[in-house]
């Protein structure tokens, strides 16, 4: 659950909460968290506020053997009767000044929900933005970046072609690379389109000096966002063919040398040095020298990793570091056991000046032990402001319930009941002065919001799956 937004409306504050629940017990705990007792058995949001629950993926919860979706039943009970039951005291709680906004994902989960719940909602569809809309959105972002940092004027003129090429290429990916049981991760949406421009926003005038540099950067970002997901050699060949066709179509007069020049890798440590700057790798030997030196420094401070830095390994380090440098960047690494996913992740984290946090499995390790480890991780990143990579392997996911906590960590940053009230008070006391230093009121609410925002900023995660 996450406090998402507040706004004033006729003298009252309306607070939005994002919810993603798995069962009615979980959902009821989230629903009750922002409420306070008013009088008797009447509960509601604090002060003169109104509360809006935003429920993401309403169609995702599992249907039980009796055909009931437990979270839906709880929500419908509240909407129908204005109450739900306290699970400990087995008594009614009347819930006032609350509303619901929900959304459904047509790609996953059930395609319908119970009509007795749906009848309470006004239903309308969000379609994928039109081409004109996408052109307007990304042209504003791109032009602001180029103008703010005083890029070459010729790059500004190349902006519309770049945007058209990106949108067309995204449409090609969604039509030609469809998900299957084996390629379940072949899902491409607006986030992927935005990630292309996120990579372009890494650049400085030192990186982009002419339109050809912008074309090569576009090729690289498209390869990272779309190409790295592909697992079949035939898919990879088709991807390269379509990408080059798109480049030739929208970047008129582009030299073939620009399209085929290797290596096509950009990273923040291409030329070494202390100050990270997103630049192209000009030569494999230069990159190998930089990574070899970084590996030697890492081995002096940590348990030695004896890595062979061949081309694929160096590319993987660059790919991982690019994700770790991205705000709220998280990576899912898929491959056979022993292929170096953990070692390369540790090296990339070291290059990005990030600590690595990993849970240690012990006898009887369960959900409570995971909560303790995650609480320590939150203290490290949110209270102590230590940039950290959370490295998790599939062998460490002993129970599916672990994924509920990991999903909350990635989605909203707030995990239900991760801290006791005493721990929350200690955290707020420790960061109160920092909140005041930012010119914000050091209320409990603002301090907790600041803590969670910093957790999301400083915490990166690498999830490793073995196929």
Q: Helix, strand, or coil here: 370?
A: helix
Q: Helix, strand, or coil here: 89?
A: coil
What is the pTM for the complete model shown? 0.87
**Which pLDDT band, with edges at 50, 70 and 90, does 337 fall under?**
confident
Q: What is the mean pLDDT of residues 27-37?
A: 84
Q: How many helices (H) and strands (E) does the chain have?
A: 16, 14
The torsion of the CA quartet 226, 232, 235, 241, rounded to 10 degrees, works out to: 90
279-353 carries CATH number 1.10.150.120: no
CATH class of the domain comprising 2-118: alpha beta
pLDDT of residue 15: 59
**Which pLDDT band, with edges at 50, 70 and 90, does 23 fall under?**
low
pLDDT of residue 10: 41
Candidate ranges 22-31, 100-109, 398-407, 428-437; pick with highest mean pLDDT: 428-437
Q: For residue 398, is pLDDT > 70? A: yes
Q: What is the mean pLDDT of residues 413-430?
A: 90
> Is 314:326 a contact under the CB 8 Å cutoff?
no
Q: Where in the chain is the domain with CATH 1.20.920.30?
A: 131-261
> Is 309:316 a contact under the CB 8 Å cutoff?
no
Tens digits of per-residue pLDDT, 268-300? 998 876 678 999 998 999 999 999 999 999 999
DSSP strand pairing (50-55 vs 98-102): parallel
Q: What is the mean pLDDT of residues 55-74?
A: 86
**Which pLDDT band, with edges at 50, 70 and 90, does 445 fall under?**
confident
Query: Position of tokens 């460490």?
Result: 396
What is the distance in angstroms between the CA of the first residue and the CA of the last residue of the chain? 32
Q: What is the CATH number of domain 131-261?
A: 1.20.920.30
Q: For residue 128, is pLDDT > 70? A: yes
Q: For residue 150, is pLDDT > 80? A: yes
Q: What is the CATH number of domain 356-466?
A: 3.40.50.300
Q: Where in the chain is the domain with CATH 3.40.50.300?
A: 2-118, 279-353, 356-466
> Is 346:299 a contact under the CB 8 Å cutoff?
no
Q: What is the mean pLDDT of residues 319-332?
A: 93
Helices 131-148 and 153-176, packing angle to 10 deg: 140
pLDDT of residue 276: 84
Q: Helix, strand, or coil here: 436?
A: helix
User: What average pLDDT is seen over the chain?
Assistant: 89
> Is 408:416 a contact under the CB 8 Å cutoff?
yes
Percentage of the chain lying above the pLDDT 90 cut: 64
d(CA 420, CA 423): 5
Tens digits of per-residue pLDDT, 212-261? 999 999 999 999 999 999 999 999 999 999 999 999 999 988 888 888 88
Burial degree of 410 (CB within 10 A; 0-12, 13-18, 19+): middle
d(CA 119, CA 4): 26
Q: For residue 362, is pLDDT > 50? A: yes
pLDDT of residue 326: 92
Percentage of the chain lying above the pLDDT 70 cut: 94
């Amino acid at each position: 659950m996450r406090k998402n937004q507040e706004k004033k409306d006729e003298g009252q504050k309306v607070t939005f909460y994002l919810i993603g629940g798995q069962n009615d017990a979980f959902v009821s705990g989230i629903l009750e968290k922002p409420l306070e007792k008013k009088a008797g058995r009447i509960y509601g949001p604090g002060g003169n506020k109104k509360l809006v629950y935003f429920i993401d993926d309403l169609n995702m919860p599992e249907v039980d053997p009796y055909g009931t979706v437990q979270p839906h039943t709880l929500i419908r009970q509240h909407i129908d009767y204005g109450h739900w039951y306290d699970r400990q005291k087995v008594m009614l709680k009347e819930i006032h000044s609350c509303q619901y906004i929900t959304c459904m994902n047509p790609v996953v989960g059930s395609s319908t929900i119970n009509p007795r719940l749906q009848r309470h909602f006004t239903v309308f569809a969000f379609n994928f933005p039109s081409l004109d809309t996408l052109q307007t959105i990304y042209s504003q972002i791109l032009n602001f970046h180029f103008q703010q940092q005083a890029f070459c004027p010729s790059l500004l003129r190349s902006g519309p072609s770049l945007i058209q090429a990106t949108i067309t290429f995204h449409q090609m990916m969604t039509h030609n690379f469809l998900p299957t049981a084996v390629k379940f991760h072949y899902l491409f949406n607006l986030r992927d389109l935005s990630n292309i421009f996120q990579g372009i926003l890494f650049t400085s005038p030192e990186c982009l000096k002419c339109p050809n540099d912008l074309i090569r950067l576009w090729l690289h970002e498209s390869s990272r966002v779309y190409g790295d997901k592909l697992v079949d050699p035939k898919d990879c060949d088709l991807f390269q063919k379509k990408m080059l066709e798109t480049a030739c179509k929208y970047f008129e007069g582009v030299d073939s040398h620009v399209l085929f020049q290797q290596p096509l890798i950009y990273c923040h440590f291409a030329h070494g040095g202390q100050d990270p700057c997103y630049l192209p790798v000009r030569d494999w030997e230069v990159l190998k020298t930089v990574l070899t030196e970084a590996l030697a420094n890492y081995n002096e401070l940590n348990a030695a990793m004896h890595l062979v830095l061949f081309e694929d390994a160096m590319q993987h380090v660059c790919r991982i570091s690019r994700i770790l440098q991205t705000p709220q960047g998280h990576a899912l690494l898929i491959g056979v056991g022993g292929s170096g996913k953990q070692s390369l992740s540790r090296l990339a984290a070291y290059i990005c000046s990030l600590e690595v946090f990993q849970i240690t499995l012990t006898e009887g390790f369960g959900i409570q032990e995971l909560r303790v480890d995650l609480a320590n991780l939150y203290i490290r990143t949110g209270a102590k402001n230590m940039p950290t990579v959370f490295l998790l392997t599939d062998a460490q996911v002993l129970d599916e319930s672990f994924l509920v906590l990991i999903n909350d960590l990635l989605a909203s940053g707030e995990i239900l009941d991760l801290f006791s009230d005493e721990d929350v008070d200690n955290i707020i006391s420790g960061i109160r002065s920092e909140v005041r230093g930012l010119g914000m009121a050091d209320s409990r609410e603002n301090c907790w919001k600041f803590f969670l925002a910093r957790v999301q900023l400083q915490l990166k995660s690498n999830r490793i799956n073995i196929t």
